[in-house]
C-alpha cells in the first residue's frame, strides 16, 4: 500500500529496511572523516551517532522507507562551450519538491493505518541516504559512491521517511559494477581515490558548491567546464544508458537556462542570476559564488 502510494506521488521506486544501527558504515565513515575527506564540510563530523542510527533521530522508529525520485532532464545546455551546471540543479530546488511529496506520503500512512509518527528527510539531516537506499534494495553503491540501479541508472534523488511502524523489509541487491572503472578513469580531479571511496575534498561539486574560500590553484584547468556541481562520473556510467527523462514539471529548467551561451554566463548579472535561479538549488552558492566559479574556468 505504501509503495503504490509512493509510485502515485511520482517516486521511481520505494524500498523498506529496519531502523537499526548501520554496522558496516560505522568504521567506513570514521575512516573517511579521519582522513579529512570531508574537507571543510565540518557538519559531516556532527551527530556521528545519529548518522548511524535513525532511532536516535526519531524516537521509537522501526522502519526506514527509502524512495528515489528521477531528475534526468529531457534536454541539456545547448552551447557546448558554456560553463556547465549539474543536471540535478536545472529546476526547482529538490528539497522543496520532495519534502512536499514525503509529507503527503506520511499523511496517507496516518490516514490509512492510524497513529504513525515519523520524520521526512531529504539530505538535510544526518542521515546516510545511500546506505539506507541500498539496504532497502533500491540499488547498490557503485565505485563512484553513488547509488546505482540496473533499471534506471543513478540520476535520481534519495529521500526517506523514518517511522515508528513495523514493516516487512526488502533485501539488498548485488553489486553490478564488475570490472568497470569508467567513473574512476573519467574523474577530472581524481576524486575517486579507490573503488567505492570518493575524497569529497577533491570533488568538483565540493569546490563549486561547498567550498566557501578561494578555489586552490592546483586544480585550475581540471574542472572540465563545470561551474556548479559535476556529472562526469554519472555521465560515463554504463548503467545510465537506461536513464529516462523525468516527468516532474517542477524539475523543468527556467526557459532561459539551457540557451545561455558561454558569453551570457561570463557576463551574467545579479538580476539574471535571480531570475534564472529563483527557486533553484544553485542559490546555495549565491551570485558571488557562481561568479567565482565562472571566473575560475576562464
Using the structure block, give the residue that is written with the C-alpha cell 506521488: 9
Q: Is 78 buried (19+), middle (13-18) or exposed (0-12) by CB count in 10 A?
A: exposed
Exactly one of 20, 53, 79, 123 is catalytic; name it: 123
Question: pLDDT-based confidence at 231, cuts 50/70/90?
Answer: very high
pLDDT at 79: 97
Q: pLDDT band at 138, cuts 50/70/90?
A: very high
d(CA 246, CA 258): 16
What is the phi/psi pair of residue 263, to 5°? -65, -45
pLDDT digits (tens, 9 = 90+) for 70-113: 999 999 999 999 999 999 999 999 999 999 999 999 999 999 99
Tell me the three cell numbers of residue 138. 533500491
| pLDDT of 123 over the 90 cut | no
- Alpha helices, DSSP H, located in 155-285: 182-186, 204-205, 232-235, 262-266, 270-276
123 is catalytic: yes
pLDDT score, position 95 = 95
Confidence of residue 124 (pLDDT cuts 50, 70, 90): confident
Rounded to an integer, what distance in angstroms lies between the CA atom of residue 127 and that of residue 29?
Answer: 12
Give the residue-averaged pLDDT of 150-169.
Answer: 97
- For 294, other C-beta atoms within 10 Å of its C-beta total 19
**Distance in angstroms (rounded) separating the CA atoms of residues 117 and 129:** 20
Q: Which residues contact 236 (CB under 8 A, 6 or more apart)?
A: 182, 183, 185, 186
**Using one digit for the tens of pLDDT, what is the confidence trace for 30-76?**
999 999 999 999 999 999 999 999 999 999 999 999 999 999 999 99
CA distance 266 to 83: 9
CA terminus-to-terminus distance, the chain: 53
The answer to whether residue 273 scores a pLDDT higher than 90 is yes
Amino acid at each position: 500500500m505504501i509503495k503504490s502510494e509512493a509510485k502515485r506521488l511520482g517516486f521511481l521506486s520505494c524500498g523498506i529496511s529496519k531502523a537499526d544501527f548501520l554496522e558496516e558504515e560505522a568504521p567506513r565513515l570514521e575512516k573517511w572523516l579521519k582522513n579529512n575527506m570531508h574537507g571543510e564540510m565540518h557538519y559531516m563530523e556532527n551527530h556521528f551517532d545519529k548518522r548511524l542510527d535513525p532511532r536516535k533521530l526519531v524516537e521509537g522508529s522501526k522502519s526506514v522507507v527509502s524512495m528515489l525520485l528521477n531528475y534526468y532532464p529531457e534536454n541539456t545546455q545547448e552551447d557546448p562551450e558554456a560553463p556547465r551546471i549539474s543536471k540535478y540543479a536545472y529546476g526547482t530546488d529538490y528539497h522543496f519538491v520532495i519534502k512536499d511529496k514525503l509529507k503527503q506520503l506520511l499523511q496517507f500512512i496516518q490516514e490509512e493505518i492510524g497513529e504513525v509518527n515519523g520524520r521526512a528527510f531529504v539530505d538535510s539531516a544526518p542521515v546516510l541516504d545511500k546506505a539506507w537506499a541500498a539496504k532497502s534494495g533500491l540499488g547498490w553503491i557503485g565505485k563512484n559512491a553513488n547509488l546505482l540501479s540496473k533499471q534506471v541508472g543513478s540520476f535520481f534523488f534519495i529521500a526517506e521517511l523514518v517511522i515508528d511502524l513495523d514493516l516487512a523489509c526488502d533485501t539488498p541487491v548485488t553489486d553490478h559494477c564488475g570490472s568497470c572503472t569508467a567513473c574512476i578513469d573519467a574523474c577530472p580531479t581524481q576524486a575517486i581515490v579507490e573503488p567505492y571511496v570518493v575524497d569529497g575534498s577533491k570533488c568538483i561539486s565540493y569546490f563549486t558548491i561547498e567550498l566557501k574560500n578561494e578555489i586552490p590553484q592546483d586544480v585550475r584547468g581540471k574542472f572540465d567546464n563545470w561551474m556548479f556541481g559535476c556529472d562526469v562520473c554519472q555521465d560515463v556510467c554504463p548503467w545510465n544508458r537506461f536513464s529516462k527523462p523525468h516527468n516532474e514539471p517542477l524539475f523543468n529548467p527556467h526557459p532561459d537556462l539551457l540557451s545561455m551561451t558561454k558569453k551570457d554566463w561570463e557576463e551574467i548579472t545579479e538580476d539574471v542570476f535571480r531570475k534564472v535561479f529563483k527557486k533553484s538549488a544553485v542559490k546555495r552558492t549565491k551570485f558571488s559564488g557562481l561568479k567565482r566559479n565562472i571566473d575560475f574556468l576562464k
